[in-house]
A and B are shown apart, each in its own frame.
Chain A
């Protein structure tokens, strides 16, 4: 009887006796993500469930990612099938106002330029020995667009999903620290001070309704594999702009997005098991992600300089930094930087145009990449 009781009590210690150092490290990493989300306000909607998922999955013997485990179920049904990111895209479309872009269409070029870092980082990742599909998933961090990064990596390199998502969301929060030094370095004192005037271009309701339909059809014809991404974002946007399906629009931006964000975050955290995450590869992904965002910023600003030159000095190159899609964070960074050098400079709305262009640009860049890979017979 005593022996049976002792054995039973020993059962309570099994978790502790099976705890390995790697799992302790991962629980600390999960806790750090929780700290960043809760105390520092870094993308809490994603980092809190990711951090907690990372803690849960590193509890020995709990089996949350084993066959039949609850997190494994979420991961297999939502992430591997791409259903979660796709549903998030509908919500994003329902929340995005493309008006700044439609007011100032030539600025969309900056949104395209802001995506070059993706391709440069892809080449760098290939040079470092990552395989083609992994390199695509790493490069896409440069888009500074969390859901796109999750979509692409869950499709091509699910084993890197944890690292890619953590990199994408952490760096998105760090945009106010990452971008300004690059912007200052690449622009002259005179360029920083360029005043761009007031954006006041009325956009008709018809234009706003036609925009998502035209973009879906044209972009999908060019890059058919990107249709799920572009199509869902634009469906959400059409629901918003048409005003005809208020209930569906509200459900997309609230209930659906909230539920899916919770399950997606947990599932991503669940991929961060010690034996899969604590690898040199993860550190390389984090480093390459930072390089990708920096390169995107640099190319955006350099393209802004070119546009400044071509327009006879009418465009302030700083707004090029908003060509990445960290919306609306990078547009705010541009406003703050511009006013730092010229108090009479109000770049926010111009930067918002570039930022909306960047959002569209990152989705199209992903779509183009998917189609090119398909064309090359890689996927």
Chain B
């Protein structure tokens, strides 16, 4: 079953910590966002294989936007 990693708030993608195809455990940091001049680590909501990363560093994102898919 696929699980989405969604943006917890409006902000900007700062850096991507994992690659597509990589295995991630629940609570691993998938990417780091910047909001209100603060770095926010965004973690995997579940364990699995990172199927796709839908954003790139520097990209502005809306709250609840899908950032990556885990399968």
**Chain A positions near chain B (C-beta within 8 angstroms):** 198-200, 328, 331-332, 335, 339, 343-344, 346, 348-349, 352
What sequence of 0s and 1s flags, for each residue 40-53 of chain B, a beta carbon within 8 Å of any chain A beta carbon? Answer: 11010100000000
* 6 additional contacts (CB under 8 A) given A198-B8, A198-B64, A346-B8: A328-B37, A348-B8, A348-B9, A348-B38, A349-B9, A352-B36
Return chain B residues, CB-CB under 8 Å to A339: 40-41
Return chain B residues, CB-CB under 8 Å to A199: 9, 63
Q: Could you tell me if B38 and A335 are in contact, using CB atoms closer than 8 angstroms?
A: yes
Q: Could you tell me if B27 and A346 are in contact, using CB atoms closer than 8 angstroms?
A: no
Given contacts A200-B63, A339-B41, A344-B27, is CB(A332)–CB(B9) below 8 Å? no
Return chain B residues, CB-CB under 8 Å to A344: 27, 43, 45
| Those 9 A-B pairs whose CB atoms lie nearest each other, nearest first | A346-B8, A343-B27, A343-B43, A200-B63, A198-B63, A349-B9, A332-B38, A198-B64, A328-B36
What sequence of 0s and 1s flags, for each residue 48-66 of chain B, a beta carbon within 8 Å of any chain A beta carbon? Answer: 0000000000000001100
| Complex Cα spacing A349 to B40, Å | 12
| Complex Cα spacing A344 to B3, Å | 14
Looking at B27, B38, B45, the one whose CB has the most chain A CB atoms below 10 A away is: B38
* 12 A-B contacts (beta carbon < 8 Å): A198-B64, A200-B63, A328-B36, A328-B37, A339-B41, A346-B8, A346-B9, A346-B40, A348-B35, A348-B36, A349-B9, A349-B63
Q: Could you tell me if B64 and A200 are in contact, using CB atoms closer than 8 angstroms?
A: yes
Closest residue to A352 on the B side, CB-wise? B36
| Complex Cα spacing A335 to B45, Å | 18
| Complex Cα spacing A199 to B62, Å | 11
Closest residue to A332 on the B side, CB-wise? B38
| Complex Cα spacing A328 to B36, Å | 8
**Chain B positions near chain A (C-beta within 8 angstroms):** 6, 8-9, 27, 35-38, 40-41, 43, 45, 63-64
Return chain B residues, CB-CB under 8 Å to A343: 27, 41, 43
Looking at B8, B41, B64, the one whose CB has the most chain A CB atoms below 10 A away is: B8
Q: How far is the CB of B11 from chain A (nearest CB, A)?
A: 9
Return chain A residues, CB-CB under 8 Å to B45: 344
Q: Could you tell me if B43 and A335 are in contact, using CB atoms closer than 8 angstroms?
A: no
Q: How far is the CB of B3 from chain A (nearest CB, A)?
A: 12
Q: How far is the CB of A181 from chain B (nearest CB, A)?
A: 21
| Complex Cα spacing A331 to B9, Å | 14
Return chain A residues, CB-CB under 8 Å to B36: 328, 331-332, 348, 352
Closest residue to A350 on the B side, CB-wise? B9
Return chain B residues, CB-CB under 8 Å to A348: 8-9, 35-36, 38, 40
| Complex Cα spacing A331 to B35, Å | 12
Q: How far is the CB of B25 from chain A (nearest CB, A)?
A: 11
Return chain A residues, CB-CB under 8 Å to B40: 335, 339, 346, 348
Q: Could you tell me if A198 and B43 are in contact, using CB atoms closer than 8 angstroms?
A: no
| Complex Cα spacing A332 to B34, Å | 12
Return chain B residues, CB-CB under 8 Å to A331: 36
Return chain B residues, CB-CB under 8 Å to A335: 38, 40
| Complex Cα spacing A328 to B64, Å | 23
Looking at B6, B36, B41, the one whose CB has the most chain A CB atoms below 10 A away is: B36
Return chain A residues, CB-CB under 8 Å to B8: 198, 346, 348
Q: How far is the CB of A319 from chain B (nearest CB, A)?
A: 14
Return chain A residues, CB-CB under 8 Å to B6: 198
Return chain B residues, CB-CB under 8 Å to A346: 8-9, 40
Q: How far is the CB of A343 from chain B (nearest CB, A)?
A: 4
Looking at B27, B35, B41, B45, the one whose CB has the most chain A CB atoms below 10 A away is: B35
Q: How far is the CB of B31 from chain A (nearest CB, A)?
A: 13
| Complex Cα spacing A349 to B35, Å | 9
Return chain A residues, CB-CB under 8 Å to B41: 339, 343
